[in-house]
Chains A and B, each alone.
Chain A
Amino acid sequence: SQQGEEDPQALSIQEGENATMNCSYKTSINNLQWYRQNSGRGLVHLILIRSNEREKHSGRLRVTLDTSKKSSSLLITASRAADTASYFCTYGSSNTGKLIFGQGTTLQVKP
């Protein structure tokens, strides 16, 4: 399976706080990706980290990858109410074609 498992399932924080969510997987990977979904909308790609990278930044997002533990984390710093959304991870392990998402982490940022 190429399904990542996100943790926690739900997270509620105050605006300005940092949010951390995790993703675990079970196979060797070429890369891992994080997506965001606002309620009822399509997923939006946030960041792709390759298996030979350990950390990657994009604006207020920081993604880490630990291939020895088969896990990744997404950190959103100085969160805003607009960050309220569901966050999903997925990954590519070969050219199998599947792009499968887990149940995601639902983040609520309170103003």
Chain B
Amino acid sequence: DSGVTQTPKHLITATGQRVTLRCSPRSGDLSVYWYQQSLDQGLQFLIQYYNGEERAKGNILERFSAQQFPDLHSELNLSSLELGDSALYFCASSVGPGGNTEAFFGQGTRLTVV
């Protein structure tokens, strides 16, 4: 158990809908990262927050948004969903702001858009 909790584990929704994925980082970790992993795209970095503020942005679509709350949990919002958004979405957390300390991953949310 990495200590990072992601909910829900599975999500099936229709095209055009909006979903929210939730991540609770390990106790004491200030950084949260979001990743999308699909079969043909590998592990794509979406966005990172550190202590409530956006720290780095990757290949995140405009239809996607995220935030980190004062209690350090984070949510990833996906809207106007398309079939191609079907993927595993991972959250990771680390103590430091990025790349210089080990990251701990959750078990992911498997999103299926039908």
Contacts and interface: CB of A to CB of B under 8 A. Distances in A.
Dominant secondary structure of chain B at its interface with chain A: strand
B107 interface: yes
The 7 closest A-B pairs by CB, nearest first: A92-B99, A97-B56, A42-B105, A97-B55, A97-B98, A92-B100, A45-B102
A30 B103 CA distance: 15
Contacts, number: 82
Interface stretch (B11-19, B40-48, B61-69, B73-81): B40-48
Contacts of B35: 101
Given A41-B107, A42-B108, A95 B98 contact: yes
Dominant secondary structure of chain A at its interface with chain B: loop
Interface of A: 2, 30-31, 33, 40-45, 48, 88, 90-104
